[in-house]
Amino acid sequence: MIFARSPARRALAGLMTLIGLAGPAGATDVPPPHGPLVMEEFFAGRTVGDGVFRAPIAGVERRFRVIADGSFDGRTLILKEHIVYEDGQVVDEAWRFEKLARGGYDGKRTHVATIVPVRVDESGIVSMGYVATVAGPDGTERQLRFDDELRLTGPRTVLNTARVRWFGLPIGTVEVTFRK
């Protein structure tokens, strides 16, 4: 590999791999879509998700459960999430997704200052990126960047994966499996 011939380039390649800049983490572990995800169909009613936030460099792994209640009025999906971490921290969030005529959604979430463009690609994978204010277990708030993908992995299952960044550097991942 030409890129890694010099010691400086080998060190840079090693650093990029360490912090996740060389490519998507776990891309081969993500199952292909089961079909298109139609958010207002899947998330209407109650869904339950089991998830984990991992930050390997810091040695952090936090498991959680999400109970989500959704309603759709023909244009807007309201999704209320009750998140309980295994360490006892409880967080309540709410999403509001406005369905767009051209496809996709405009999203708004608690603790997110801007409108979140939500795209649906040709294979039915939903993706969005946003910056959210997140409180850690000690109550310290941080601005974190999330790049989410949601895919239907079965008739009653959605996998939500996210890369998490802080000041532009990859710090971790989130994986949540939602079930109807």
pLDDT at position 30 is 58
pLDDT at position 53 is 96
Say if residues 150 and 135 touch (Cβ distance below 8 Å): no
pLDDT at position 135 is 85
pLDDT at position 29 is 56
pLDDT at position 33 is 64
Q: Which residues pair with 149 in a beta bridge?
A: 127, 161
> Is 38-179 a domain of CATH 2.130.10.10?
no
* Residues 107, 127: Cα–Cα separation, whole Å: 11
Please write the tens of the pLDDT for every residue from 10-58: 333 333 333 333 333 444 455 556 778 999 999 999 999 999 999 998 8
pLDDT at position 111 is 92
User: Mean pLDDT, 10 residues at a time, over the chain (180 residues)?
Assistant: 37 34 42 80 98 93 97 97 95 96 93 95 94 88 96 95 96 97
pLDDT at position 7 is 38
pLDDT at position 4 is 38
